Structure 1
Amino acid sequence: MIGKSGIRIIYGDKPKQMVKELLEVIKPEEEIDKDALIGIKPNLVVAKPSSSGATTSPEIVAGLIEYLKAKGRNKIVIMEGSWVGDRTSEAFKVCGYEDLSEKYQVPLIDLQKDKFKTFAIDDLQINICDSVTKVEYLINIPVLKGHCQTNITCALKNMKGCIPNSEKRRFHTMGLHKPIAYLNKLVKQNLIIVDGLNGDLNFEEGGNPIQMNRIIAGKDPVLIDTYAAHLLGFNVNEVPYIGMAEGIGVGTTDLENADIVELNKDNGLRKLTPSRRVQQLSWHIVEDSACSACYGSLIYALERLDVKGILRNLEEKLYIGQGYKQKQYDGIGIGLCTSGFAKCVKGCPPKARDIVDYLESLL
C-alpha cells in the first residue's frame, strides 16, 4: 500500500489493463476488510460518454471491480449524483454504467434520490447523502479536466456529487471553494484513482477532450489535486479550494517531498479526433511522433498562455516528438526528446505548468 505522500502514475491507452497493473502495485486490499462496504464514486456530471472528456471511463471502473473481486472484496456499490441540470439515471445509462452494474452485479446508487443528513464543521453546515456515510472504504475516480469556474476539477471537487441537488446549488451561492474544502474534511477518500485519459481542456461538461493517456493514484486528495493543477498548467493559488483544504488538515500541497513514481512511459496511440479548439492551438506545434501525454501537456499549456493573453506573442513554432531525438535545432523543443534543441522544456512528459513558466520567460 502506498503512503499518504505517494502518487503512482501509469501511461497507456488500455484503461482496464492499466488500472489492474496500478492496483497490483498499490495493493489496496491490504487495508480493506473482506466484509467492508466499498463505495466507488466516478465523475458522471452529465450524460455524455467518457470520450467527450467529461466523465469517468467505465473501463477503469470495470478493471477496479475485477481486481477487487479477484481479491475477495465483493461488497461494492457505485454511487453518483449528477449535476443539477442532468439526471443521474440517464448518466448511468449513457456512460455505460448500467451495463457495468449488470455484468458485475454491482448496485448503482443514484445520490440525487438519496436521503441526507446535516453535518456541522466550524461555521458551516453541510448536507451529505446517507449512502456516502455508510460506505466503509471510499474510492474516488475523478476525471482530470478543466473547469469554467474553479479552473480544474479532480479529487476534491468530485466529492460534490456526494451531496443533494439543493446543497449543490447552495455551494455555488457560497462561492464553491470553501464548501468544497470543508466537504472533504467531512468525507474521507481512502483511495483516489484519477482518470487522466482524455479530460476536457477547460469545461467540466466536455467537448474539447485532450488525450493524456494516464491514470494517477494516491491517497491524499490535496496532494493529488496539487499534482493535477500542475499537469493542467495552474499554480495551486489559482485553485483556491486546494489551499483551503490544506489549511484545515485535509492533506498537503508539498509536491517536493511527495513519493511520485511513474510505472512506465507513454507509448499509447492518439485516438481522438481533435476538436476545433485543439486544432487552433496546434497551429503553434510542429510534431513528429509525439506521445499523447507530452502533446496533451503542451495543448493545456498553450490554452493557459492564450487565456493570459500572451500566446499571440509566440512567434516561433514549438517542436515536439520522438522524431527529434538526438537532433539539434535552434528552435524551442518540448519534452526530453528535444534535449538537443537550443531551447528546451525537459520532462518525459513535462507538466503543463513547467511549459507555461518556460514560455512565459521567453515572451
Structure 2
Amino acid sequence: MEKNQIYIKCGTEYTDMTKELLTQCRLDGLIGDRKLRIGIKPNLVSPTEASFGATTHPEVVAGIIEYLQEQGFQNLVIMEGSWVGDKTAEAYEVCGYRALSEKYGVPFLDMQKEKSISRDCGGMKLNLCAAVENIDFLINVPVLKGHCQTKITCALKNMKGLIPNSEKRRFHAMGLHKPIAHLGVGIRQDFIVTDNICGDLDFEDGGNPVVMNRILAGRDPVLMDAYVCHMMHYEVSEVPYIEMAEALGVGCGDISKADIRICGADGGGEIPKSRKVVELADAVEEVESCSACYGYLIPALEMLKQDGLFDKLDTKICIGQGFRGKTGELGIGHCTRNFSHHLEGCPPTENQIYGFLKKYLEDRK
C-alpha cells in the first residue's frame, strides 16, 4: 500500500470487513517483523457506546487484532486516554474494551495512569505518555466525526489520547491547532483505520450519530484528515492544524494526489452536511476552553434550542481557562467562578449546563 492511497470498504459485519480491508492493504507486509510491538489507539473520549457516535467500535479493533494474530503478530497493546473530565477506566468498561482485551489476550494501557516524558516535536516541547516510546508500529483507529472547536476530528487529533491530562489542558491554552500539528511530529502514526460507521457530525462526544457503515484505511494522517474534510464539506484551510502538520513534514494535505480505492462494489453514500455548531457557538465567548467543557456546553445549547429557549439568550456565555480570575455575567465551569452567574464543575455535564441555563433564563422573566 502506497502512502497516497486510501482504501474504503462498506458493510455491516464490522469485524470481518475490517479484516478484509487490511488484507487488501497488505498490512502484514507494511509491518514486516512479527516481533515488533504494535500499539492500537482507538478513540474512547468518554464512556459511551460506539452507537452513540463518539467512540471507536470495538468490532473494528477486534478485526485488527484478529487479522494481526492470524498473521503471526502477538506483541500487541491497546492504548488510550479519555478526555479531561472522564476516566479511561470507565470508557474501558462501557465501550466494550475490557471484554475485547480479555477475549484476545491483548493488554489495555490506560494513558491517564502513565508517566509523562518531554520530547521535542518539530521545535515545540510537548509532554507525551511514556508508553509511546515502547511502540514500534502504531495503528491509529479514530472516529470520523465533527468537533465543536476544530470542525473535524480524525487521525491527527486522535493522538491527544496519548498525552497526559495536564498537557491536554495546555493544548487548549495554546490554541489547539498548533500543538496538534506538532504532536504529529512527536508521535508517528504508521497506519490509520478510520471508523466511519456512525460518527456524530457535530459533537465530539456524540449524541447525534449518522450511520454510514464505512471504514477507511491509509498511511498518511494528514492526507486522511484532508480527505475527511472533503467528505464533511469543509475546505482543508478551515481546519488549520492540517496545513500546519503538512508544513512540518507530517504528511501530504493535497487530496488531488490521493489514490482512493473502493474495496467492493459500494463506496458508501455522501455524508450529509451538518453545521449545528456554527449557530450555537455564536452564543459563546470561548477562551482556551478544554474539549470536555466546551463539548458539553454546545449540546446543552442544542437542548435549549429544542425547548425554544435558545433565542432568549442575550448574554454571551463565557467559558475557558482564559477567564480565570476575571469577572463577568454568565460563565460555565470552574474557570469562571468569579462571575455573577456561574456553574461550577471541571467540567460540568451537559445536563447540568442545560439545567443551569434554563433556570437562568427562567429567573430573568
**TM-score, with normalisation over the residues of structure 2?**
0.74
Give, in whole Å, the separation in 2 of the partners of 1:307 and 1:226. Answer: 25
Aligned residue in 1 for 2:363: none
Structure 1 letter corresponding to 2:239: V
2:80 maps to which residue? 80
Quote the residue 2:17 is aligned against. Answer: 18
Flag the 1:77–1:122 CA change in 2: closer, same or farther, 3 A. closer
Inter-partner Cα distance in structure 2 for 1:305 and 1:105:
44
Q: Which residue does the alignment assign to 1:104?
A: 104
Q: 2:190 and 2:216 mapped to 1: Cα distance?
A: 14
Once the two structures are TM-superposed, the CA of residue 303 in structure 1 deviates from its matched residue by 5.7
1:241 maps to which residue? 241
Q: CA offsets per residue over residues 283-312 of structure 1, 9 Å max, x none?
A: xxxxxxxxxx42x613x2576998899xxx
1:63 alignment counterpart = 63
Answering whether residue 118 of structure 2 is matched by residue 118 of structure 1, we say yes
The number of residue pairs the alignment matches comes to 281
Q: Which residue is 1:336 aligned to?
A: none
Amino acid at match of 1:62: A
CA contact (8 A) 1:11 1:214 kept: yes
Corresponding residue number in structure 2 for 1:329: none
* 2:259 aligned with 1:259: yes
Answer whether contact 1:222 1:251 (CA < 8 A) is retained. yes
Compute the displacement of 1:265 (Å): 3.9
Q: Where in structure 2 are the equivalents of 1:170-185 lying within 5 Å?
A: 170-185=170-185
Does the residue aligned with 2:93 lie in a helix, a strand or coil?
A: helix
Residue type of the alignment partner of 1:96: G
Match of 1:284 in 2: none
Show the 5 A alignment for 1:148-167.
Answer: 148-167=148-167
Assess if the C-alpha contact under 8 Å between 2:202 and 2:277 holds in 1: no
User: CA 1:198–1:73 in structure 2 vs 1: closer, same or farther (change >3 Å)?
Assistant: same
The CA distance in 2 between the partners of 1:138 and 1:178, in whole Å, is: 22
Find the aligned partners of 1:73 and 1:31 in 2 and give their Cα distance: 12
Map residues 1-363 of structure 1 onto 2, 5 A cutoff. 2-32=1-31, 33-266=33-266, 293-294=268-269, 297-298=271-272, 300=273
Contact 1:38 1:139 in 2 (8 A): yes
Q: Are residues 139 and 242 of structure 1, via their aligned partners in 2, closer, same or farther at CA, if it must alter by over 3 Å?
A: same
**Code of the aligned partner of 1:66:** E
Deviations 1:76-117 (A, max 9, x none): 000000001100010000000000011000000000000111
Tell me, yes or no, if the aligned pair for 2:138 and 2:189 is still in contact at 8 Å. yes
Shift of 1:259: 1.4
Verify the 8 A CA contact 1:213 1:266 in the aligned structure 2: no
**2:118–2:127 CA contact under 8 A, matched in 1:** yes
Distance 1:157 1:305 in 2: 20
Alpha-carbon distance between aligned partners in 2 of 1:121 and 1:56, rounded to the nearest angstrom? 27
2:217 counterpart letter in structure 1 = A
Residue 264 of structure 1: how far off its partner (Å) = 2.3
For residues 132 and 265 of structure 2, what CA distance do their matches in structure 1 show?
Answer: 36
Q: CA deviation at 1:8?
A: 0.3
Q: Which runs of 5+ in 2 are unaligned?
A: 283-365
Map of 2:319 onto structure 1: none
CA distance in 2 between counterparts of 1:308 and 1:255 reads 29
Residues in 2 aligned to 1:117 and 1:164: alpha-carbon distance in whole angstroms: 10
| Distance (Å, rounded) in 1 between the aligned partners of 2:215 and 2:230 | 15
Question: Is the Cα contact below 8 Å between 1:6 and 1:258 reproduced in 2?
Answer: yes
Q: CA deviation at 1:31?
A: 2.9
How far the C-alpha of 1:23 sits from its partner, in A, is 0.7
Moved over 3 A (4+): 301-309
C-alpha distance in structure 2 between counterparts of 1:256 and 1:15, whole Å: 29
Instruction: Report if aligned partners of 1:10, 1:265 keep a CA contact under 8 Å in 2.
Output: no
Distance 1:122 1:16 in 2: 36
TM-score (norm 1): 0.75
What is the letter of the counterpart of residue 271 of structure 2? S
Structure 1: state its 5+ residue gaps: 268-292, 310-363
> SS of the counterpart of 1:4?
coil
Q: Which amino acid aligns with 1:297?
A: I
Query: Which amino acid counterpart does residue 212 of structure 1 have in structure 2?
Result: M
Matched position secondary structure for 1:297: coil
Alpha-carbon displacement from aligned partner over 1:268-290 (angstroms, at most 9, x marks no partner):
xxxxxxxxxxxxxxxxxxxxxxx
- SS at structure 2 position matched to 1:195: strand
Backbone CA RMSD of aligned residues: 1.9
The offset of 1:237, in angstroms, is 0.7
Post-superposition CA distance 1:180-206 (Å, at most 9, x none): 000011111010000000000201000
**Whole-angstrom distance in 1 between the partners of 2:96 and 2:265:** 28
CA distance in 2, matches of 1:128, 1:305: 32
Q: Which AA in structure 2 matches 1:57?
A: H
Cα deviations by residue, 1:315-342 (Å, 9 ceiling, x for unpaired): xxxxxxxxxxxxxxxxxxxxxxxxxxxx
Kept in 1, the 8 Å contact 2:139–2:192? The answer is yes
